[in-house]
Structure 1
């Protein structure tokens, strides 16, 4: 990741105490974004390829095997079939992946991200969670996804939350830290905003909606609150923090809505993998199907996209 680190700031409890979220206004804005007329044809293909550059290919299954991981790595190296890219004159598209670090076994420049800190609940002892972070870094992870203890948010213990995240940041060393808020379990949009601020003050390089294991994952109202917290933090500190929606994002159409949300709320400068990621395991397959249809005029059979 070529973006700068977030050094964090001192905990500003005054700022946190003043936070109020206008729930109806957020819902209206979220509805407006979803009903926006979508782009078509070549423009749609271009936006879908942009989405591919921001996807974190993810597997969190308990039954993963080495062959599953090798398959995932191959797909990361070849996200869209080469002949499809050549048909739309984008054969050099895969070079966007040069923005990230190294996955030596796959022979290409792709980062390894690991979950830690008692994923997904974040309820294990602090000492154990910190050791998980250090172990993941020692094993070669260049990005660490930490999980906050949601109880600290629900009980308003902002100083404890800040101090825990600072310890995780220290344990990450040179690895970038993405902080998962578990927004579906935080109780209110106001709590989502406050938790976002605390996570950024404590030095998070990204804030992320969900683990993907909650009953409610990435939603547009939650995203609006989080990206506006990112915008406010940037205006106050000059520090850009990344945003990652995760969980339940499966279709190319949804990807276009997420890109539109980021473009309108944070601007084009956030539409890079250093500052925006989509956490998804199946989204890439649908995007490749849409690119196939754009090129050929027909929908792919299973054997046409065997990695899907």
Structure 2
């Protein structure tokens, strides 16, 4: 179950902090280098990654049939052989399925009874360069179709120009349009130039009521990186200390391997603690990563690597 909606707080630009970029990069690199997860421990962390995954398709040639296949994979992400070999009592499921607004209805129908929520991108994804009233209408459409989570994109120009009031008002309006659906604010960090901008944008999005902050659309030249994730996690920690409100985190884009899934979970454990290693507060925005996770778990069970085609995404 998702936590209660984040109420937000008034805009406070005094909360912004400058970021020491070289230090952030060193910290991110050393953090994952010190953790060596092997054997049953690695398998447990990979199973947790599946539970925290937003299985995603955001392609121009998406169809209802493709979405239905993806939803079937979300329901049964592992083969029966792996589930039995791991000694699991039940088939794991992914944290959510993420699609375009027009694909929400097929996804909701395909996931009926599973308890897996449908997330929808909105607000002119991925660029967000549409009039605000149209972006808000897209949110309302996705919610009406049954989306329980909305992944919005911010106007990067507000960050690059330092117009924090405009960014705050924009995200607050999007939060209101979501109604009961949870809002994930995509910061498109690859476009924000500096880590100081990433920290400030994270603070403003949370102050405006974002339930999650998310790194990327997956369409930027640079997507989720560990230094960016480090700074966003510290913004979450600082915001919780100042307001008492808990906000989730979602890295997305560029994550393809089981090792990536482990590294991002190590970051969460080190910076925010075990409470964030659950789908209510942590999501991995990925698709191809699941095939490699399944391959690694198959190796753990059988002692050999299966051919890649044995673990098709959908």
- Name the TM-score class by shorter chain: over 0.9
Shift of 1:93: 4.6
- Find the counterpart in structure 1 of residue 11 from structure 2: 11
> Are 1:196 and 2:202 an aligned pair?
yes
Query: Matches of residues 156-305 of structure 1 in structure 2 within 5 Å?
Result: 156-302=162-308, 304-305=310-311
Shift of 1:15: 2.0
- Find the counterpart in structure 2 of residue 83 from structure 1: 81
* Deviating 4+ runs (over 4 angstroms): 95-98
TM-score by length of 2: 0.93
Distance of aligned partners of 1:35 and 1:303 in 2 relative to their CA distance in 1, 3 Å threshold: closer
Contact 1:103–1:109 (CA under 8 A) maintained in structure 2: no
Contact 2:95–2:283 (CA under 8 A) maintained in structure 1: no
Q: Distance in 2 between matches of 1:112 and 1:51?
A: 18
Contact 1:247–1:280 (CA under 8 A) maintained in structure 2: yes
Contact 1:73–1:106 (CA under 8 A) maintained in structure 2: yes
- Find the counterpart in structure 2 of residue 45 from structure 1: 43
TM-score by length of 1: 0.95
Give structure 2 stretches of 5+ with no counterpart.
97-106
Residue number among 87, 103, 106 corresponding to 2:111 in the alignment: 106
Shift of 1:97: 5.9
- Find the counterpart in structure 1 of residue 68 from structure 2: 70
Give CA-to-partner distance per residue, 1:125-167, whole Å, 9 cap, x none: 1111111111111111110000000000000000010001000
Distance of aligned partners of 1:96 and 1:106 in 2 relative to their CA distance in 1, 3 Å threshold: closer
Shift of 1:191: 0.4
Contact 2:32–2:266 (CA under 8 A) maintained in structure 1: no
Q: Distance in 2 between matches of 1:269 and 1:216?
A: 28
Contact 1:97–1:109 (CA under 8 A) maintained in structure 2: no
Aligned-residue RMSD, C-alpha: 1.6
Shift of 1:103: 3.7
Q: Distance in 1 between matches of 2:111 and 2:263?
A: 31
Q: Distance in 2 between matches of 1:140 and 1:67?
A: 18
- Find the counterpart in structure 1 of residue 100 from structure 2: none
Q: How many residues align?
A: 303
Higher mean displacement: 75-84 or 179-188: 75-84
- Find the counterpart in structure 2 of residue 57 from structure 1: 55
Q: Distance in 1 between matches of 2:253 and 2:53?
A: 12
Contact 2:74–2:93 (CA under 8 A) maintained in structure 1: no
Shift of 1:197: 0.1
Contact 2:54–2:285 (CA under 8 A) maintained in structure 1: yes
